[in-house]
């Protein structure tokens, strides 16, 4: 709760900085604010209180996901100063990021359909603008427009869904809905089925699951790289957390309506994401497809529906975000020096910059899920959760997907050891800092996953 | 302290990584220390004492994963093989100039860390982690220091082996889920499982594919010849000398006692595939022109025989396969070193362009002949002991299969002697005219190998005595598992 206030507070502070001209102080203040938000999140651990007439509920699940999002945002702010060079819109961009984060926190702690809707909208509207923040680039404008159109479409689905569920159960409160559903006396089951399926489609769109993923590659590629980094980590975390909370908490007694469909969506997402990624020559687009594939693995945690699932999802999100932010940092530096995002930009990296090569190696291994990195354990944990629910075919598809994944992640590694491209890459200490933090986390979580697995 | 034996190479690898130009000396010194330490454990090991040097504590408590290590006679011999070969492999690379040597030698030591870990793990998850860890350094060695087609070949190699590994992971998770209570990955808990025969068949294939790809058994061998040929010499030696044994070892410890019914059902097929591999690979080896590729195929043939011995489930077969793993490790490293020296001195591996080394380099040709004869399994060399036991074991299982497997004696002699004849005898071809004499470091590699060839060939008793009780225990645990299920 305090987390939300702090985040919204520094967001508003960012807006004022435009009027009162203290933009220089913005970054330190935002950093302190995020640190404060993190502290309040940690302090709330194990309290389990609900606020605003049960509109939102702060439990360990929401705290854990909020903390992850805040930490990733802090890492993100370290690498992003290059993005805030445009003086006229500097404070707006700061504020939008903070508001997006606020929306993300709401999405992980909602206890009412209305709050879910608000959270999603706060996050999405900020992201629509940020995707188009590189105003001079056609691709960025296209990304924003596409994201906005498709996003509002999905929002429409969500609203329809919420309305129908309200019609069937007479409440927005997910606790009440869950009780009504388990009791079974409903006004209209057709309305309810349609409502659940519509919300599922909307959420699948938000996490970019197949077949609702078509916006993702274009938006990810068109948006400025730092914004893509934010979208594929914080936004994705918020979306899966909301998805999980909604379906596991609210619709558990209605599994026959959505379970099979979501399982197919999960399998399709894994296959489509991985297979399409193989054909990409642009690393940024490849990472976009890889992020779609990872959404499929995260959905596996939702369809597992057992006690291991929340921790498995949390672990996966952390492992994925950490390695993802590292890979985007690397991509940012490489493309800054070579001027494009293609795989050829990585040629010769191993020879001229061993540090960067090692970091690339760690993050690619982690994304591919090879021990001893966090990514391996994340997949492992998800597989365990799924197999406990006897979903062997899904696990085998996921294994197949991982194998395909190795192919394109390793293409980046192989590219580093090809000849060519002798140009030096200059990178400042802050990139190094983020990469070292991410690298250490990726290895530490792989060797001692116990630090996170016991949390939820 | 077995942990020290596992983690010392990792520490050494870190030190090596920061030692710049002195890397090879640091790495060699570390490997020697590791070998000396393993000798200490070797002499403290009691052959009839069962599993020794055990350490067991919880690692990831809420998933039932523990750090459980130890070793029996089989593991001891394989660990000794690793610690014996790694210094020789490092030494054999001294006359190469590798770019960024600190990384190169650091990777070799990391590999050693993972290999010793694989052989000592008694927890399924730990085993899997070490198994995968072994793959990354060797992949990087091949990728960064391999021949000109390395990019394509190493990716194929990686994806091939990773396919097997992931199937094994799924099988292990399935087994884990069947364990009672809060679940456990402990080997004993997996041995005690009560699985239906359908489950056992599925698990058998999950695990067998992983091991079969690693060995490799026909028809999962297609990654191997290219990878062996294209990898830098030390990488090939690591792959063929030690890493291949991971697969056989995996079958012994992680397949046979866990799914005995699956083995009863499919073991026959595994046996037939192995024997096909023996004959098929020998024939292909026969027509090779490239000496390194010939050794690669001969390796498939040898490992086919070893795997057939394992699946015969007879005492002699299992016993022989342990001995043969050691002998093959030593011989194949010797052969690849010979091939590497020839390539370095003459610039070619094509046997048609070679000849007459017997006259221009008699010392070299003698070492070559001894190692070659050991590989052919001449009596009084180490190759004979294992091969004799293996064919004996296979004979007890099936006379027809033994007849085919026995072809290895003839075919092995044919392609090896043929190669020796082309390279060493006849008239010295132009490239072989000025064959530099052996350097001290080269002799330092060859002499220990030759000593081991004769030592094991003439007096194999200590080896047999160490492996015997462990094989007996393995057979017993297979039998009890079969009767339980």
Per-residue pLDDT tens digits for A104-152: 999 999 999 999 999 999 999 999 999 988 888 899 999 999 999 999 9
pLDDT at res. A450: 81
Any B CB within 8 A of A328 CB: no
Q: How many helices (H) and strands (E) does chain B have?
A: 20, 2
Q: Which two tokens stand for residue A182?
A: 């388990």
- Show residues of chain B in contact with A388, CB under 8 Å: 177
- Show residues of chain A in contact with B136, CB under 8 Å: 365, 370
Asked if residue A165 has pLDDT above 80, the reply is yes
Q: What is the mean pLDDT of residues B297-317?
A: 92
pLDDT at res. B109: 93
Kindly determine whether residue A388 and residue B129, on different chains, have CB atoms separated by under 8 Å: no
Burial class (CB in 10 A: 0-12, 13-18, 19+), A197: middle
How many A/B residue pairs have CB atoms within 8 Å?
69
Q: Which two tokens stand for residue A212?
A: 């609702």
Q: Cα torsion for B265, B271, B273, B277, to the nearest 10°? A: 170
B70: enclosing H helix or E strand: strand B65-71
pLDDT tens digit sequence for A174-221: 999 998 888 876 766 888 889 999 999 999 999 999 899 999 999 999
Dist. CA B217–CA B247, nearest whole Å: 10
Dihedral sign from CA coordinates of B138, B140, B142, B146: negative
- Non-local CB neighbours of B398 within 8 Å, separated by 6+ positions: B271
Q: What is the mean pLDDT of residues B76-100?
A: 90
Alpha-helical segments (H) within A81-133: 90-109, 113-131
Dist. CA B285–CA B279, nearest whole Å: 10
- Non-local CB neighbours of B175 within 8 Å, separated by 6+ positions: B124, B190, B193, B203, B258
Q: Cα torsion for A51, A52, A53, A55, to the nearest 10°? A: -80
Q: In which band, very low, low, confident or very high, does the pLDDT at B82 lie, cut at 50, 70 and 90?
A: very high
Q: What is the mean pLDDT of residues A20-29?
A: 78
Give the residue from chain A lying closest to B61, CA to CA.
Answer: A450
Note the residue count of chain A. Answer: 456
pLDDT tens digit sequence for B256-294: 889 988 888 898 999 999 999 999 999 999 999 899 999
Alpha-helical segments (H) within A170-214: 174-183, 189-206
Highest mean pLDDT among B114-128, B141-155, B433-447: B114-128
pLDDT at res. B416: 92
Mean pLDDT for all residues in chain B = 90
pLDDT at res. A40: 92
As a three-state string, the secondary structure of B353-369 is HCCCHHHHCHHHHHHHH
Percent of chain B with pLDDT over 90: 54
Q: Which two tokens stand for residue B381?
A: 């060399």
Q: Smallest Cβ distance to B155: which of A354, A395, A414?
A: A414
pLDDT tens digit sequence for A289-318: 999 999 999 999 999 988 889 999 999 999
Q: Smallest Cβ distance to A395: which of B62, B103, B170?
A: B170
Give the residue from chain A lying closest to B114, CA to CA.
Answer: A372
- Show residues of chain B in contact with A354, CB under 8 Å: 100, 103
Q: Are B110 and B31 in contact (CB under 8 A)?
A: no
pLDDT at res. A110: 93
Radius of gyration of chain B measured on its C-alpha atoms: 21
Asked if residue A244 has pLDDT above 90, the reply is yes
Residue whose C-alpha is closest to residue A199's, from A253, A238, A148, A160: A160
Asked if residue A84 has pLDDT above 80, the reply is no
Q: What is the mean pLDDT of residues A232-248?
A: 94
Kindly determine whether residue A371 and residue B159, on different chains, have CB atoms separated by under 8 Å: no
Domain count, chain A: 1
Give the residue from chain B lying closest to A406, CA to CA.
Answer: B159
ipTM of the complex: 0.83
Give the residue from chain A lying closest to B172, CA to CA.
Answer: A384
Reading phi first (left if > 0) and then psi (alpha if -120 to 50, else beta), residue B270 is in alpha
Q: What global pTM score does this model have? A: 0.89
Least confident of A54-63, B147-156, B447-456: B147-156
Least confident of A52-66, B182-196, B303-317: B182-196
Kindly determine whether residue A384 and residue B132, on different chains, have CB atoms separated by under 8 Å: no
- Show residues of chain A in contact with B154, CB under 8 Å: 414
- Taking CB atoms within 8 Å and a gap of at least 24, the contacts of B257-260 are B257/B191, B257/B474, B257/B477, B257/B478, B257/B481, B258/B175, B258/B190, B258/B191, B258/B193, B258/B203, B258/B207, B258/B481, B259/B195, B259/B200, B259/B201, B259/B203, B259/B204, B259/B207, B260/B200, B260/B478, B260/B481, B260/B482, B260/B485
Note the residue count of chain B. Answer: 485
pLDDT at res. A442: 93
Burial A120-150 (b: 16+ CB within 10 A, else e): bbbbbbbbbbbbbbbeeeeebbbbbebbbeb
Percent of chain A with pLDDT over 90: 55
pLDDT at res. A298: 94
Q: Are B186 and B123 in contact (CB under 8 A)?
A: yes
Q: What is the mean pLDDT of residues A398-420?
A: 86
Q: Smallest Cβ distance to B133: which of A350, A372, A402?
A: A372
pLDDT at res. A149: 93
Asked if residue A427 has pLDDT above 60, the reply is yes
- Show residues of chain B in contact with A453, CB under 8 Å: 60, 62-63
Q: In which band, very low, low, confident or very high, does the pLDDT at B484 lie, cut at 50, 70 and 90?
A: low
Query: If you ran DSSP here, which 8-state letter would residue A50 be given?
Result: E
Q: In which band, very low, low, confident or very high, does the pLDDT at A422 lie, cut at 50, 70 and 90?
A: low
- Show residues of chain A in contact with B151, CB under 8 Å: 414, 417-418
Alpha-helical segments (H) within B179-220: 187-191, 197-214
Which residue range is the domain that position A428 belongs to?
2-453
Kindly determine whether residue A384 and residue B60, on different chains, have CB atoms separated by under 8 Å: no
Mean pLDDT for all residues in chain A = 89
Asked if residue B199 has pLDDT above 70, the reply is yes
Asked if residue A233 has pLDDT above 80, the reply is yes
Q: Output the CA–CA distances (angstroms, integers) from residue B275 to A418, B238, B300, in the order listed.
A: 40, 24, 11
Q: Are B51 and B22 in contact (CB under 8 A)?
A: no
CA of residue A407 relative to chain centroid, distance? 23
Asked if residue A325 has pLDDT above 90, the reply is yes
As a three-state string, the secondary structure of B251-276 is HHHHHCCCCHHHHHHHHHHHHHHHHH
Q: Which two tokens stand for residue A373?
A: 């990195």
pLDDT at res. B150: 84
- Show residues of chain A in contact with B148, CB under 8 Å: none
pLDDT at res. A421: 67
How close, in Å, is residue B160 to chain A by CA atoms?
9
Kindly determine whether residue A407 and residue B159, on different chains, have CB atoms separated by under 8 Å: yes
Give the residue from chain A lying closest to B131, CA to CA.
Answer: A371
SS3 for B121? strand
């Amino acid at each position: 709760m305090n987390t939300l206030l702090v985040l919204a507070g520094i967001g508003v502070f960012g807006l004022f900085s435009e009027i009162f001209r203290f933009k220089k102080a913005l970054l330190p203040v935002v950093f302190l604010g995020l640190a404060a938000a993190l502290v309040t999140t940690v302090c709330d651990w194990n309290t389990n209180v609900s606020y605003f007439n049960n509109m939102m509920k702060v439990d360990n699940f929401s705290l854990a996901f909020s903390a992850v999002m805040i930490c990733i945002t802090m890492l993100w702010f370290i690498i992003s100063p290059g993005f805030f060079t445009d003086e006229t819109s500097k404070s707006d961009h700061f504020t939008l990021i903070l508001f997006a984060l606020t929306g993300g926190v709401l999405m992980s702690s909602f206890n009412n359909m209305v709050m879910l809707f608000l959270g999603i909208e706060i996050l999405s509207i900020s992201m629509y603008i940020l995707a188009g923040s590189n105003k001079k680039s056609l691709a960025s404008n296209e990304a924003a427009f596409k994201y906005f159109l498709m996003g509002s479409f999905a929002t429409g689905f969500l609203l329809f869904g919420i309305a129908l569920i309200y019609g069937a159960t007479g409440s927005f409160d997910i606790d009440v809905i869950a009780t009504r559903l388990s009791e079974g006396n409903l006004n209209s089951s057709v309305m309810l089925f349609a409502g659940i399926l519509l919300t599922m489609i909307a959420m699948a769109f938000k996490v970019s699951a197949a077949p609702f993923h078509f916006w993702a590659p274009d938006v990810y590629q068109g948006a400025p790289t730092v914004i893509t980094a934010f979208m594929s980590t914080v936004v994705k975390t918020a979306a899966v957390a909301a998805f999980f909370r909604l379906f596991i908490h609210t619709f558990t007694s209605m599994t026959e309506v959505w379970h099979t469909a979501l399982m197919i969506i999960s399998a399709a997402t894994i296959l489509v994401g991985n297979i399409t990624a193989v054909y990409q020559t642009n690393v940024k687009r490849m990472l976009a497809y890889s992020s779609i594939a990872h959404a499929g693995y995260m959905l596996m945690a939702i369809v597992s529906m057992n006690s291991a699932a929340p921790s498995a999802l949390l672990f996966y999100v952390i492992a994925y975000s950490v390695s993802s932010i590292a890979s985007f940092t690397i991509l940012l530096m490489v493309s800054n020096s070579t001027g494009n995002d293609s795989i050829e930009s990585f040629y010769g990296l191993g020879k001229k910059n061993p540090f960067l090569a090692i970091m690339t190696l760690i993050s690619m291994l982690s994304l591919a899920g090879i021990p001893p990195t966090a990514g391996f354990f994340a997949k492992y944990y998800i597989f365990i959760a799924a197999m406990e629910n006897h979903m062997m075919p899904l696990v085998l598809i996921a294994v197949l997907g991982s194998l395909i994944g190795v192919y394109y992640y390793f293409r980046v590694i192989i590219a580093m050891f090809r000849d060519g491209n002798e140009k030096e890459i200059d990178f400042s200490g802050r990139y190094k800092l983020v990469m070292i933090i991410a690298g250490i986390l990726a290895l530490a979580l792989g060797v001692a996953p116990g630090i996170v697995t016991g949390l939820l | 302290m077995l942990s020290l034996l596992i983690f010392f190479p990792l520490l050494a690898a870190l030190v090596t990584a920061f030692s710049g130009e002195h890397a090879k000396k640091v790495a060699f010194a570390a490997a020697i220390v590791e070998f000396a330490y393993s000798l200490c454990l070797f002499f403290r090991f009691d052959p009839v004492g069962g599993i020794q040097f055990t350490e067991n504590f919880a690692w990831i408590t809420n998933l039932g994963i523990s750090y459980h290590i130890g070793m029996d006679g089989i593991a001891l011999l394989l660990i000794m093989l690793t610690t014996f070969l790694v210094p020789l492999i490092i030494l054999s690379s001294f006359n190469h100039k590798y770019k960024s040597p600190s990384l190169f030698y650091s990777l070799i030591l990391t590999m050693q860390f993972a290999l010793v870990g694989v052989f000592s793990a008694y927890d399924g998850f730990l085993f899997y982690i070490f198994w995968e860890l072994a793959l990354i350094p060797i992949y990087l060695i091949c990728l960064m220091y391999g021949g000109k087609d390395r990019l394509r070949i190493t990716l194929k190699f990686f994806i091939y082996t990773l396919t097997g590994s992931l199937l094994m992971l799924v099988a292990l998770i399935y087994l884990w889920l069947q364990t009672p209570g809060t679940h456990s990955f402990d080997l004993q808990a997996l041995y005690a499982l009560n699985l239906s025969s359908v489950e056992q068949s599925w698990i058998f294939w999950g695990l067998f594919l992983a091991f079969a790809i690693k060995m490799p058994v026909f028809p999962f061998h297609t990654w191997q010849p290219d990878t062996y040929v294209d990898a830098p010499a030390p990488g090939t030696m690591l792959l063929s000398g030690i890493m291949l044994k991971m697969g056989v070892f995996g079958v012994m410890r992680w397949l046979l006692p866990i799914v005995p019914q699956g083995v009863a059902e499919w073991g026959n097929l595994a046996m037939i595939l192995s024997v096909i591999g023996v004959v098929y690979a020998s024939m292909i080896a026969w027509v090779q022109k490239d000496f390194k590729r010939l050794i690669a195929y001969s390796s498939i043939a040898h490992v086919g025989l070893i795997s057939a011995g394992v699946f015969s489930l007879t005492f002699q077969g299992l016993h022989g396969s342990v001995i043969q793993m050691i002998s093959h490790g030593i011989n194949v490293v010797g052969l690849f070193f010979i091939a590497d020296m020839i390539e370095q001195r003459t610039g070619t591996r094509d046997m048609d362009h070679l000849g007459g080394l017997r006259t221009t380099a008699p010392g070299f040709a003698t070492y070559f002949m001894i190692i070659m004869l050991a590989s052919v399994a001449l009596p009084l060399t180490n190759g004979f002991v294992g091969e004799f036991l293996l064919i004996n074991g296979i004979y007890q299982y099936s006379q027809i299969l033994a007849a085919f497997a026995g072809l290895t004696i003839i075919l092995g002699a044919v392609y090896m002697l043929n190669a020796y004849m082309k390279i060493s005898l006849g008239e010295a071809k132009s490239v072989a005219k000025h064959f530099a004499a052996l350097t001290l470091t080269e002799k330092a590699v060859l002499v220990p190998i030759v000593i081991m060839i004769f030592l094991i060939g003439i007096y194999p008793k200590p080896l047999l005595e160490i492996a015997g009780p462990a094989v007996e225990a393995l057979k017993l645990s297979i039998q009890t598992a079969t009767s339980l299920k």
